[in-house]
């Protein structure tokens, strides 16, 4: 706060939905939300690898037009294409769903995304994590935007209960795994560097909001519990973890 002027703007590029917490400290008028829609891995000192392309998405957290957004867009576009949205909370929630699947199960399995999503049980867990997240979003009255530059519509992906609809879900997730197979989740990278993960602000956020709104989140609860055990050294990362009885889906 001592370094901010009255007209200063703070842009959050963090995973999860940290904007409301920032607004509580800084004031809503100072905070601009941002989704980082591309991926990278930190392979060692001064060794960074872009593992997936994408975009930045920015917006006013009150969903209002904002003259500050155009200059911010110009700055971020020097790195990746940047899009302005009038539903930044829906965009942030969309990225939250992706991270709650990829980041957290990346820690549990201890492998990159391609190998992770080649496993049918992992894909089933992905689908259930998404279902719970969308139920929480509905209770919060959030319109979740499509992920991956509009290519992954969670509403369409999860509709239907036929075998064909389920096959389509598995094929879609499998294709994502093939396309982004090199991605190593940031939470997995944190564990490898001896640090704690973002679990409390990813799946933990969904669980907390679910409890607030009376929406059950058993699979997200199980993911949180297992990742915390891995963080504390009480469990090892392994694809065998997905066979835990907590993941009945």
For residue 190, the domain's CATH number is 1.10.1040.10
Of 88, 122, 144, which one is at a domain's C-terminal end?
88
| 111 inside domain | yes
* 229 and 153 co-located in one domain: yes
* 26 and 99 co-located in one domain: no
Quote the number of domains for the chain.
2
For residue 52, give the CATH number of its domain: 3.40.50.720
| 199 inside domain | yes
Give 10-residue mean pLDDT values along the chain (249 residues): 90 90 92 90 85 90 89 95 94 94 93 92 96 98 86 93 94 90 86 90 96 97 96 93 88
Please tell me the pTM assigned to this model.
0.88
Cα dihedral: 107, 46, 11, 132 (round 10): -10
**Amino acid 43: pLDDT:** 82
* 171 and 224 co-located in one domain: yes
| 4 inside domain | no
Find residue 59's DSSP bridge partners: 33
* 99 and 197 co-located in one domain: yes
| 66 inside domain | yes
SS (H, E, C) 168-213: HHHHHHHHHHHHCCCCCCHHHHHHHCCCCCCHHHCHHHHHHHHHHH
Structural domain of 75: 10-88
* 23 and 103 co-located in one domain: no
**Amino acid 37: pLDDT:** 87
């Amino acid at each position: 706060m001592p370094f901010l002027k009255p007209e200063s703007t703070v842009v959050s590029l963090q995973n999860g939905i940290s904007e409301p917490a920032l607004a509580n400290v800084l004031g809503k008028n100072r905070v601009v939300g941002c989704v980082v829609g591309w991926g990278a891995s930190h392979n060692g000192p001064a060794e960074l690898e872009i593992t997936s392309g994408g975009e930045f998405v920015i917006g006013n957290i009150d969903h209002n037009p904002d003259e500050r957004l155009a200059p911010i867009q110009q700055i971020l576009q020097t790195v990746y294409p940047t899009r302005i949205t009038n539903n930044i909370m829906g965009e942030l929630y969309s990225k939250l769903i992706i991270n709650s699947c990829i980041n957290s199960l990346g820690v549990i399995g201890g492998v990159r995304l391609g190998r992770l999503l080649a496993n049918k049980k992992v894909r089933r867990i992905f689908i259930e994590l998404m279902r719970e997240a969308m139920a929480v979003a509905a209770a919060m009255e959030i319109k979740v935007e499509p992920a991956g530059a509009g290519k992954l519509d969670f509403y369409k992906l999860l509709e239907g209960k036929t075998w064909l609809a389920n096959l389509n879900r598995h094929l879609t997730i499998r294709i994502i795994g093939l396309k982004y197979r090199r991605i190593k989740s940031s939470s997995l990278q944190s564990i490898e560097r001896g640090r704690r993960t973002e679990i409390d602000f990813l799946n933990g956020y969904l669980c907390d909001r679910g409890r607030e709104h009376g929406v059950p989140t058993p699979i997200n609860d199980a993911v949180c519990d297992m990742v915390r055990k891995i963080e504390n050294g009480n469990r090892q990362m392994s694809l065998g973890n997905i066979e835990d009885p907590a993941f009945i889906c």
